[in-house]
Chains A and B, each alone.
Chain A
């Protein structure tokens, strides 16, 4: 299992679980649900934060925050 921060640009993954309770509260209400597909759209110029495509919109978050999201990378 990898975490959301390790995706490369354009890669898709499925959210599996969360490692941090507080952040999961925020992430779930922003539409990052277990089972939801996410796609890494952009990485900021200094390598952090990142922007993902989720639930039909674009969400930005820091790498440290993304590292609390466990995902399985989608093969395609």
Chain B
């Protein structure tokens, strides 16, 4: 890239549903990145293109309805337009041509900032279809800026828009009410001044700027009505028969819910069952790579670190890709078509009781497969408090990583007595565990509803956009973006913890490992490799830690062997099974039947009684249902909340809940 070319920065502003992101994708193609706005959880999308010998950096600001922000996303958008560093050279105002009245509110506000602007009249095809005629020169004259009809969906008008951006000028027209400014805010000298002082306020209620906002918006809309009367010809009644017909179905008492259940069922099938195939390909691929690397490179510490620390860690990260990609594929389609707003609409009353939002349903159901993509998908929840509650309670729902643990423990408990009448014990207890997870999540949500404080006021005033065909490009850009964000943001934390866990399990103080190896050869009957591994794990730092925590977990009925498994489970819950297999030297973790037999036969080394009594199994089951033992979830929570406070609370509160519940269960049953 040549650095000698002139360079400008532009920003896209517009209402949510103005097709802003699609326009951004059309302008930048694949030349885009996702970053952060400092201190907030809002993602920053930026990219670049060059046109007519000029390099253009383009930022897609979060959607906003006005320059008086009502949510954190909106605040970010407004601040980016005003603050010194981020301030763009040119603002592209994106409006929906078929819904001009409401969209022009923000447009006239931005024009009042006295920055060079261009109006992108988006979805012009839809306006044509609705027989809306817009007289562009008239609209340009009234607004004082260039108006470019575009259709971001098929890239129509992109060249005109790019040209207009380079020639953007500041409008001479002023839309805000001088009268109200003089009356309410005499100390301000410009509209920018008013917005800046409003953004600096802590409490907007009853402020002079809020009074100005109401009066000014009413004034603005009367101007907008005049502009529309002058420049737009539209039929008396817009033909929205398709949207209306679909809405009658989607919001129907019976069919609306049935359709939503069908959507849930499809999403669930994909992320729970279909995702398993690519996940096992990734795992097997990495196993092959790990074996190959282990053989190809000289043996030693470095080899072990590379194979069992780093490659195993990356494998543990990459394995999430199919579930994340599939979940966001569906979410993108649901959002892009406009259906998601309807799902929120029909579920709002039900979810509100739990402090949740209609949009919390999909993340919560998805977390039956995995909490990681679910937490990432809470981005669609606009309200901060509802979003935080959803993030916090989602990991309580039993995910697929708990399944192998549940299966092993239930198998031990019901060895020999498989059915209760026509039902299998396995199935009944398993269902019970899932219900327990859901119940815990909903109860925790109710508690958080009262505990969490927010300065953001909760409301549910939401646009129900017209239905549109999903855009393949928009869908795939979102999937691609989410996978990338997970790999690089949450991934590096997961990798770091993987390496720590590797160190704990593969290192021991002093020469403990060498002693075990020497011992193994000098024995009359040579020890099997499995037995050596078992002894090594016991001697390792993880083993020592497991023994150290035994006094703490003893009241729950756990011994130090379970203690080790609790520590290693932090990598992923299903590691419990593998660790138990190593400790009990049954070797192959695939063969859980031998492990089950061994565990049933296991006697306590002090008392001689069986370790895995019904009380211990229930205690462990409940512990695994509630405990926060998943570094990937913690890393994702950090990435989505941008604050260590939230994963820390998750860790403490879930582990505390697990400990107390297991303690009660064990005390009652034993």
B65 touches A45 (CB 8 A): no
User: Closest residue of chain A to B348, judged by CB?
Assistant: A49
How far is the CB of A67 from the nearest CB of chain B, in Å?
13
Contact of B105 among A27, A29, A42, A58 (CB under 8 A): A29
B210 touches A21 (CB 8 A): yes
How far is the CB of B546 from the nearest CB of chain A, in Å?
50
A42 touches B102 (CB 8 A): no
Contact of B213 among A25, A34, A45, A56 (CB under 8 A): A25
- A47: chain B residues within 8 A (beta carbon): 349
- A23: chain B residues within 8 A (beta carbon): 459, 461
**Does B141 touch A at the CB level, under 8 Å?**
no
Q: Which residues 50-70 in B have Cβ within 8 Å of A in the complex? A: 65-66, 68, 70
How far is the CB of A33 from the nearest CB of chain B, in Å?
5
Q: Which residues 86-124 in B have Cβ within 8 Å of A in the complex? A: 99, 101-102, 105
B150-158, B248-256, B363-371, B504-512: which lies at the interface: B248-256
A30 touches B461 (CB 8 A): yes
Contact A56/B206 with A25-B214, A29-B65, A65-B459 known, Cβ cut-off 8 Å: no
A4 and B99 CA atoms in complex are apart in Å by: 23
Contact A58/B218 with A25-B213, A45-B346, A51-B345 known, Cβ cut-off 8 Å: no
Contact with B along A7-27 (1 / 0, CB 8 A): 000000000000001111111
A44 touches B66 (CB 8 A): no
A43 and B238 CA atoms in complex are apart in Å by: 21
A44 touches B348 (CB 8 A): yes
B206 touches A21 (CB 8 A): yes
Q: Which residues 26-41 in A have Cβ within 8 Å of B in the complex? A: 26-31, 33-34, 41
**Does B496 touch A at the CB level, under 8 Å?**
no
- A21: chain B residues within 8 A (beta carbon): 205-206, 210, 214
A33 and B215 CA atoms in complex are apart in Å by: 11
Contact A46/B350 with A56-B99, A58-B463 known, Cβ cut-off 8 Å: yes
How far is the CB of B261 from the nearest CB of chain A, in Å?
13
What interface size band does chain A fall in?
A: 20 to 34
A46 and B252 CA atoms in complex are apart in Å by: 10
A60 touches B462 (CB 8 A): yes
- B345: chain A residues within 8 A (beta carbon): 42, 44, 49, 51, 60
B99 touches A65 (CB 8 A): no
- A49: chain B residues within 8 A (beta carbon): 345, 348-349, 460
- A60: chain B residues within 8 A (beta carbon): 341, 345, 460-464
A22 and B253 CA atoms in complex are apart in Å by: 32
A57 touches B463 (CB 8 A): yes
**Does B217 touch A at the CB level, under 8 Å?**
yes
- B253: chain A residues within 8 A (beta carbon): 45
- Tell me which of A25, A47, A49, A57 has the highest count of chain B C-beta atoms within 10 A of its own C-beta: A57
B462 touches A29 (CB 8 A): no
How far is the CB of A69 from the nearest CB of chain B, in Å?
11
B460 touches A62 (CB 8 A): yes
B251 touches A42 (CB 8 A): yes
Contact A41/B247 with A28-B214, A56-B238 known, Cβ cut-off 8 Å: yes
**Does B245 touch A at the CB level, under 8 Å?**
no
B101 touches A31 (CB 8 A): yes
**Does B476 touch A at the CB level, under 8 Å?**
no
How far is the CB of B384 from the nearest CB of chain A, in Å?
15
Contact of A59 among B213, B457, B464 (CB under 8 A): B464
B348 touches A31 (CB 8 A): no
- B256: chain A residues within 8 A (beta carbon): 45
B210 touches A44 (CB 8 A): no
B461 touches A65 (CB 8 A): yes
- B243: chain A residues within 8 A (beta carbon): 58
How far is the CB of B481 from the nearest CB of chain A, in Å?
28
- B204: chain A residues within 8 A (beta carbon): 22, 25
Contact of A25 among B68, B251, B463 (CB under 8 A): B68
**Does A2 touch B at the CB level, under 8 Å?**
no
A34 and B217 CA atoms in complex are apart in Å by: 11
A63 and B70 CA atoms in complex are apart in Å by: 20
How far is the CB of A25 from the nearest CB of chain B, in Å?
6
- B503: chain A residues within 8 A (beta carbon): none
12 residue pairs bridging A and B, Cβ less than 8 Å apart = A21-B214, A23-B459, A33-B221, A34-B218, A42-B251, A44-B348, A45-B252, A45-B256, A51-B251, A51-B464, A56-B101, A62-B459
Contact surface of A with B, Cβ cutoff 8 Å: 21-31, 33-34, 41-42, 44-49, 51, 55-62, 65
Q: Given known contacts A29-B70, A30-B461, A41-B244, what 14 new A-B pairs fall within 8 Å (CB)?
A: A22-B457, A26-B70, A28-B218, A31-B105, A44-B251, A45-B251, A45-B253, A48-B349, A57-B102, A59-B464, A60-B345, A60-B463, A60-B464, A62-B460
Q: Which 6 A-B pairs have the closest CB atoms?
A: A46-B349, A58-B464, A45-B253, A29-B66, A31-B102, A61-B461
